[in-house]
Chain A
Amino acid sequence: MSDKRTTHFGYREVDEDAKAGLVANVFHSVAGRYDLMNDLMSGGIHRIWKRFTIELSAVRAGQSVLDIAGGTGDLAAKFADIVGPTGRVVLADINESMLNVGRDKLLDHGYQGNLEFVQADAQYLPFPDDSFDCVSIAFGLRNVTDKALALRSMLRVLKPGGRLLVLEFSKPVNPLLEKAYDSYSFRVLPFMGRLVAGDSDSYQYLAESIRMHPDQDTLLGMLEDAGFVNCEYHNLTGGVVALHRGFKA
């Protein structure tokens, strides 16, 4: 029997060491069409979820923000507008392709000066302790191999009083909505992925990884176990997505 530790990659059990590479391949494949697919898949609602995240972040001018798994930079751009020239926003992503797309997009839109781009693994964040007023991770935590390790790493880089925001797919609260959502995820999404991004496997992984991700209460417990206090969550669109928030004491 192998003594290697395993984790899930969608519905498959894989070696822990292999997951990061497999996830990387998914995002290398979809990076170019990531924004378009997000708009198509969610009908544009992902922008509303991100707007709500920004509101709950309570970020103000002059503060420092770390946006992990920042991808194509939707949240980082909004944070950069709010913190202004005296603030600092770091867009971090483990995936080089996603980071390149995000960096090009933001530079093309004139963002510079208060915005940095860092290729970093959420589990081992390359920043000193107590560095940021706010850490956000939107639709990224479910792809991390060791979520508990990543949450502890986020807690470490937060300043005391700083807050973590985790925006992630979750479990619909209404059984009817859950059934409709299941059909949509496993039938429509891979088809859309094949049609638009030329890659149905990546979107099949997306649907599977959402089902394997901890539900609202489990993730809330994970935040508390990692050391966050005053933790809470808000269900969005009937629980299709949940926004968790926790503070560093």
Chain B
Amino acid sequence: MAAAGLDPTLTTAALAALEAALNRALALDPAGQRHLAGLAGRTFAIECTSPVVHVYLQPGAERTRLLGYYDGPVTTRVRGSASDFAELAGASDPAATLINGNLVLQGDSAPLIELQGIIGRLDLDWEAPLVNVLGDVAGHQLAQFLRAGFSAGTAASSSLLRQLEEFIHEEARLTPPRLEVEDFYGDVQALQQRVERLQSRLERLRKRIRSAGQ
């Protein structure tokens, strides 16, 4: 992680800790790890502009590496602020976020979208490490309890989001719904094209009148 002005010891230590945590998490989702192995040999450059941090991510068959310095060819380079990256990480449609968001993309976008999808779909199995520590019965019970709590939390948060969205769009009419906005943008774009065409016709007409008058 090349961060402006910081001692490389600090940034390297932070990256080492992050890499260890990431690989430990990936080990809890063998399917996700397998999908990630499909991206082996690619290098993703993540350049955060605020705060200034550069990280290179290299998925591998056994380990995913995080590097602060990398001299080789990069598959995809993404540049943006921390909030732009957070938006991409949580996006349900990453391609749309890349096109409409503030992130600047260089290189091949397909592997990046694939990577975002794999990370988004990670389904960590907490049961295995719990069983290793607590034994079969207690580990399984605790894992079930955690799973139930987690799924109840997810359901509650998605229901809250849905209701909030409905209230903002339909009841309070604070903002128009997404489809309406997209339709409006489509109309604006069509109008812009028509105006441009009309402008060129007028220009042509003006030239013809000018040449007829001479």
Contacts and interface: CB of A to CB of B under 8 A. Distances in A.
Chain B associates with chain A: yes
Interface of A: 45, 47-49, 51-52, 55-56, 58, 60, 234-238
Nearest to A55: B69
Contacts of B13: 45, 48
Contacts of A49: 9
A163 to B, nearest CB: 9
B67 A55 contact: yes
A238 B7 CA distance: 7
Contact of B7 (A55, A56, A236): A236
A69 to B, nearest CB: 21
Interface of B: 7-9, 12-13, 16, 67-72
Contacts of A237: 7, 9
B55 to A, nearest CB: 11
17 contacts: A45-B9, A45-B13, A48-B12, A48-B13, A52-B8, A52-B68, A52-B69, A55-B12, A55-B68, A55-B70, A56-B69, A234-B8, A236-B7, A236-B8, A236-B9, A237-B9, A238-B7
Nearest to B69: A55
A104 to B, nearest CB: 24
A60 B12 CA distance: 19
A235 B16 contact: no
Contacts of A58: 69-72
Contacts of B7: 235-238
Nearest to A239: B7
A84 B70 CA distance: 18
A56 B70 CA distance: 7
Nearest to A238: B7
B90 to A, nearest CB: 29
Given A58-B69, A236-B7, A236-B8, 7 more contacts: A47-B16, A51-B12, A52-B12, A58-B70, A58-B71, A60-B72, A238-B7
Q: Among the interface residues A51, A56, A58, A234, which one has the most CB atoms of the partner chain B within 10 A? A: A51
Contacts of B72: 58, 60
A31 B67 CA distance: 31
Contacts of A51: 12, 16
Contacts of A235: 7
| A-B interface, 5 closest residue pairs, ranked by CB to CB distance from nearest | A58-B71, A55-B69, A52-B12, A237-B9, A236-B9
Contacts of A45: 9, 13
Residue of B9, B16, B72 with highest tally of chain A CB at under 10 A: B9
A229 B69 CA distance: 20
A229 B167 CA distance: 65
B56 to A, nearest CB: 9
Contacts of B71: 58
A121 to B, nearest CB: 30
Contacts of B12: 48, 51-52, 55
A60 B73 CA distance: 11
B150 to A, nearest CB: 34
Nearest to A47: B16
A47 B72 CA distance: 23
A234 B16 CA distance: 18
A113 to B, nearest CB: 16
A170 B69 CA distance: 22
Nearest to A50: B12
A236 B69 CA distance: 14
A124 to B, nearest CB: 30
B204 to A, nearest CB: 58
A47 B20 CA distance: 14
Contacts of A52: 8-9, 12, 68-69
Contacts of A234: 8
Contacts of B8: 52, 234, 236
A63 B68 CA distance: 21
Nearest to B2: A55
Contacts of B67: 55
Contacts of A236: 7-9
